[in-house]
Structures are given as C-alpha cells and as structure tokens.
C-alpha cells in the first residue's frame, strides 16, 4: 500500500493513479455550517470519488458533550473508523466538498493523526478540483470491504482544552491563530450559533483559512503559507495553537503549519463554541 506519512497533502493526479491500489482508503469528510443548508450525506450519495466512504464528523465525536463534534474517546473513535473498514497501516486520503475546496477534510486528517494514524493526507483542492478536472464520480455507497482492526494511540500534545487556553491567553508561551473570517473575529458579524458573544480571545491573530488557499482550492506553496501567517502576526518559529468556530476549519491552519514544517501545533477543540459562551464570562476582545 502507498506510504504518504509526512506528505500531508496529495494532488488529484496522484489519487487518480492510485485509486485501485490495495490498502488505499478514500474518505469524504464533508461538513457544512448550518447556515449553508447543505446535506453532506445526500450530496455524497448523489456523487463522490469512486470507492470513497463517508466520514461523519458529527457522529464520530463525543456525543455526551454539549459542544459540537468534540473529540471522542479513543474507543469510540476506533469503533467509528473500524465501521468504515479502516485499519492499522491503511493509507487514507481525505477530501471534502466545500466551496473553497478545503475546509472539513482537515478535521478528519487531524482526528486520524491524533489517534496515531500517520499514513493519512488531504486531497489538495478536494472534490471541487476533482470535478473541475472531469474526473469520474460514482453514486451511492460502494460495497463494504472486509472488517479491519484500528488501534488508537492518543497524542494529547495535539489538542488544547479550556483549561489549557485559560493559561495560553495573556501568556507569552504560545500564539493563537483564529481561522474564522474577519467579521466574526473582530466581532462585527454575529456568530452562527446561539448564546455566543462575538469577538476573539485576547491576543489571538486572525488567519482566515481561505487566505491559505489558491483560487482552485489547493493550498498555497510553503513560502506563501509562511508569508500569510507572518503577515497576520504569527511567528511560525514559536508555538502556535489553532482555533475557529467549533474546531473544524482550525485544522486547515494546523495542516498548513505542518506543510511548512510545524507539525507540533495544538488545536483548541472547543474553539469559539466554548470560549464565546456568555455564561462562562471569559475575556473577549473585539476589533482587528
């Protein structure tokens, strides 16, 4: 089977050439904000990359948490990916069907990596680029392959919780990169979820995830990615924590940082869905 450990992204030509390779698993990790009124499961059934399986970010999560799609326990995650017939050592390529070309696939990539599966990469440009190139699609689900065994190996260093972030805010030991759009970051636009105050964590820097992408939805070059972070005030040589609205698009920042050599960053899982809750009374800044 292919070994893409450390590649982080693969292009559409590579995937097309390797689709029939034993041990390669393609996952559709599409997820959309409620305001978009899109049904990722229905869209998957209507047309997806051949042999792809649907990874449900909301389902393979901590269902006991009041926060959306929080990191599940290791046993729950293992059961979820085993149900998708993903096993130890499989080569996994993740894509999504977002309009930008990359948004939620990064979350699935991060989930697999945090549970010890390094042979995983994101499809550069996603389904948008695959379709633009006229590549084949198939409808409905492919026949289920043989069951597989997945052994989770949780890496705590890759995630940050509320307690961690209380220590990070106002300290100099880590920087916060927020993937939300400027309007939400600055507090000018309302949050899409009820009960949240608009704004950002004090000291955070705004790196909207779309600024890391080219017009065709692919990631910019490493030099260009580095420049985007630096222009936002992020020193990529220092520790970085990524955040967003609910821990999904933050993973795009985590992916981009890995591409430029920083694969040791943490992701704030609760993100603004947690920090922005009025009832918590946490410090909130507004403006650029």
pLDDT tens for the 288 residues of the chain, in order:
788 888 999 999 999 999 999 999 999 999 998 889 999 999 999 999 999 999 999 999 999 999 999 999 999 999 999 999 999 989 999 999 999 999 999 999 999 999 999 999 999 999 999 999 999 999 977 667 778 999 999 999 999 999 999 999 988 778 999 999 999 999 999 998 889 999 999 999 999 999 999 999 999 999 999 999 999 999 999 999 999 999 999 999 999 999 999 999 999 999 999 999 999 999 999 999
Name the DSSP letter for residue 170.
T
pLDDT at 272: 98
Output the CA torsion 198→102→252→93 (10° steps): 140
Helix segments in 93-238, DSSP class H: 105-114, 126-132, 162-168, 182-186, 222-231
- Can you name the residues that pair with 176 across neighbouring β-strands? 241
Global pTM value: 0.96
CATH homologous superfamily of 9-154:
Rhodanese-like domain (3.40.250.10)
**Residues 17-55: b if buried by 16+ CB within 10 A, e if exposed:** ebbeeeebbbbbbbbbbeeeeeebeebbeeebbeebbbb
pLDDT at 6: 85
CB 99 within 8 A of CB 43: no
Q: Which of the residues 70, 92, 105, 244 is marked catalytic?
A: 244
pLDDT at 143: 65
pLDDT at 142: 66
Helix (H) or strand (E) holding 9: strand 9-10
Residue 174 burial (CB count, 10 A): 18
Nearest CA among 205, 215, 213, 214 for reference residue 182: 205
Output the CA torsion 112→34→164→180 (10° steps): 100
pLDDT at 5: 85
pLDDT at 173: 77
Intrachain domains 9-154 and 157-280 with the same fold: yes
pLDDT at 15: 98
Respond yes or no: is residue 244 known to be catalytic.
Answer: yes
pLDDT at 139: 94
What are the boundaries of each domain within the chain? 9-154, 157-280
Alpha carbon of 38 to those of 26, 47, 54, 230: distances in Å?
21, 14, 15, 34
Distance CA 258, CA 236 (A): 10
Distance CA 11, CA 129 (A): 9
pLDDT at 35: 84
CATH homologous superfamily of 157-280:
Rhodanese-like domain (3.40.250.10)
* End-to-end CA, the chain: 47
């Amino acid at each position: 089977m292919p070994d893409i450990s450390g590649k982080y992204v693969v292009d559409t030509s590579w995937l097309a050439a390797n689709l029939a390779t034993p041990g390669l698993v393609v996952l559709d990790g599409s997820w959309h904000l409620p305001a978009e009124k899109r049904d990722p499961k229905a869209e998957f059934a209507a047309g997806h990359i051949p042999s792809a399986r649907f990874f449900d970010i909301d389902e393979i999560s901590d269902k006991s948490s009041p926060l959306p799609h929080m990191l599940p326990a290791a046993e729950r995650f293992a059961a979820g990916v085993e149900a998708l017939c993903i096993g130890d050592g499989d080569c996994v390529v993740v894509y999504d069907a977002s309009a930008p070309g990359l948004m939620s696939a990064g979350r699935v990539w991060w989930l697999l990596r945090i549970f010890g599966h390094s042979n995983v990469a994101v499809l550069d440009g996603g389904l948008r680029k695959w379709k633009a190139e006229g590549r084949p699609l198939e409808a409905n689900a492919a026949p289920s392959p043989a069951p597989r065994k997945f052994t989770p190996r949780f890496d705590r260093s890759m995630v940050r919780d509320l307690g961690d972030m209380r220590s990070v805010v106002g300290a100099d030991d880590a920087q916060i990169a927020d993937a939300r759009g400027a309007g939400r970051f600055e507090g000018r636009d309302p949050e899409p979820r009820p009960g949240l105050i608009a704004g950002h964590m004090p000291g955070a820097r705004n790196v909207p995830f779309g600024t890391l992408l080219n017009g065709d939805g692919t990631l910019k070059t490493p030099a260009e990615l580095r420049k985007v972070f630096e222009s936002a005030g992020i020193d990529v040589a220092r520790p970085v924590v990524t955040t967003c609205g609910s821990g999904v698009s933050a993973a795009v920042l985590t992916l981009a940082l890995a591409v430029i050599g920083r694969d040791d960053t943490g992701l704030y899982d609760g993100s603004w869905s947690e920090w922005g809750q009025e009832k918590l009374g946490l410090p909130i800044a507004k403006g650029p």
